[in-house]
């Protein structure tokens, strides 16, 4: 059987389309090997396919992400998450006991099923949109958007220290979402979100106290913005976390981080640095 690279899978980007064709070829190769009359040890063939897939993931995904960074594509963050999932899945197969003849055909069959489902879904729902949406802001294309950089410094020591801590908490939450564990993940996520909520309240109180002390004219607007952000944290939909944990939490964290960064860059950095 040949898995065809069909017209509906074309993104219009030659380099990406050609690398997708290679993945379809690997898919066909794996299927044909799994479909053969099983009468000998296919260990080396199986290992070769897994190594090709792993190498493909590193090469193709890096090319795709590099292009998306150049055009600041808003789907980059979601694509990175999907790419990590693919890599992890392929490496799961590497740890299956494929040296055992009885396991090899089962492994290949599972591999082909996974590839077929993932490949078509990923190309048709994600890759087909590359370059077709308005560009992201600069911070969103960084390898780790949760990293606190000098761009966010206000020059106010207490404010900067608390901003760094907020970024640390968001990054911790982001790592939990990426490696979500259905057994303990829910409780861990709720705990970190509560930590974020409480620390945010503490930070906003400190920031507002400083602005009051220097008689900052933008205090009222800052309070309104702070209240809106706290309201978002207070009204997180626990049912959504329970039903669609990774998808909901990823979107939530993207919103929270985006709000925090924009608030620092365009609001907090206007606050004068005054020695008290």
Domain assignment present for 31: yes
From 104, 129, 154, give the residue that closes a domain.
129
Domain containing 173: what range? 146-270
From 129, 159, 184, give the residue that closes a domain.
129
pLDDT, residue 112, reads 77
Q: What are the pLDDT digits (tens) for 27-47?
A: 888 777 777 765 555 667 777
pLDDT, residue 141, reads 67
Give the long-range contacts of residues 81-86, CB within 8 A, separation 24 or more: 81/178, 81/250, 82/122, 82/126, 83/57, 84/178, 86/57, 86/61, 86/118, 86/122
pLDDT, residue 66, reads 93
* Same domain? 62 vs 96: yes
* Same domain? 124 vs 159: no
Domain assignment present for 136: no
Domain assignment present for 236: yes
* Same domain? 70 vs 159: no
* Same domain? 117 vs 180: no
Q: What is the pTM of this model?
A: 0.56
Domain assignment present for 138: no
From 98, 129, 160, give the residue that closes a domain.
129
pLDDT, residue 184, reads 63
- Can you list the alpha helix ranges (DSSP code H) found in 71-156? 76-94, 101-125
Domain assignment present for 162: yes
* Same domain? 121 vs 154: no
Q: What number of other Cβ atoms are within 10 A of residue 97's Cβ?
A: 9
* Same domain? 98 vs 170: no
* Same domain? 182 vs 218: yes
pLDDT, residue 91, reads 78
b/e burial code for range 104-141 (CB count within 10 A of at least 16 → b) = bbebbeebbebbeebbbebbeebbeebeeeeebeebbb
Say how far apart CA 251 and CA 234 lie, in whole Å: 16
Domain assignment present for 192: yes
* Same domain? 160 vs 75: no
pLDDT, residue 212, reads 96
* Same domain? 161 vs 67: no
Q: What are the pLDDT digits (tens) for 159-217?
A: 999 999 999 999 998 888 777 666 666 788 888 889 999 999 999 999 999 999 999 99
* Same domain? 159 vs 266: yes
Say how far apart CA 258 and CA 85 lie, in whole Å: 23
* Same domain? 238 vs 201: yes
Mean pLDDT for all residues in the chain: 83
Tally the domains of the chain: 2
Q: Please, what are the averages of pLDDT over each run of 10 residues along the chain (276 residues)?
A: 76 93 85 67 72 86 93 83 83 63 71 79 85 72 83 95 95 82 72 92 96 94 88 82 75 83 90 90
b/e burial code for range 204-234 (CB count within 10 A of at least 16 → b) = beebeebbeeeebeebeebeebbeebeeebe
Residue 81 belongs to domain with CATH number: 1.20.120.50
CA angle 29, 35, 37 (to 5 degrees): 125
Domain assignment present for 276: no
Domain assignment present for 135: no
* Same domain? 163 vs 69: no
- With CA atoms as reference, report the closest residue to 107 among 119, 88, 92, 120: 92
């Amino acid at each position: 059987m040949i898995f065809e690279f069909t017209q509906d899978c074309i993104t219009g980007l030659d380099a990406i389309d050609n690398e997708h064709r290679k993945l379809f070829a690997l898919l066909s190769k794996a299927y044909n090997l799994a479909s053969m009359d099983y009468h000998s040890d296919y260990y080396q063939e199986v290992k070769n396919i897994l190594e090709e897939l792993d190498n493909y993931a590193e090469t193709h995904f890096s090319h795709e992400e590099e292009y998306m960074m150049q055009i600041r594509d808003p789907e980059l963050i979601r694509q990175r998450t999907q790419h990590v999932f693919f890599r992890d899945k392929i490496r799961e197969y590497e740890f299956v006991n494929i040296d055992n003849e009885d396991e090899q055909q089962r492994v290949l069959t599972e591999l082909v099923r996974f590839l077929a489902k993932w490949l078509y879904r990923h190309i048709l729902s994600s890759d087909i949109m590359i370059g077709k949406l308005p560009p992201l802001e600069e911070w969103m294309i960084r390898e780790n958007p949760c990293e606190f950089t000098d761009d966010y410094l206000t020059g106010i020591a207490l404010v900067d220290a608390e901003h760094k801590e907020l970024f640390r908490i968001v990054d911790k939450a982001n790592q939990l979402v990426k490696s979500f564990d259905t057994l303990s993940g829910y409780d861990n996520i709720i705990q970190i979100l509560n930590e974020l909520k409480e620390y945010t309240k503490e930070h906003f109180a400190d920031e507002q106290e400083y602005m009051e002390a220097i008689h900052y004219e933008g205090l009222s607007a800052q309070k309104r913005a702070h209240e809106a952000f706290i309201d978002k944290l207070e009204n997180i939909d626990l049912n959504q976390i329970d039903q669609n944990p990774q998808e909901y939490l990823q979107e939530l964290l993207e919103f929270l981080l985006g709000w925090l960064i924009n608030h620092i860059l365009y609001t907090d950095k206007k606050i004068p640095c005054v020695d008290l």
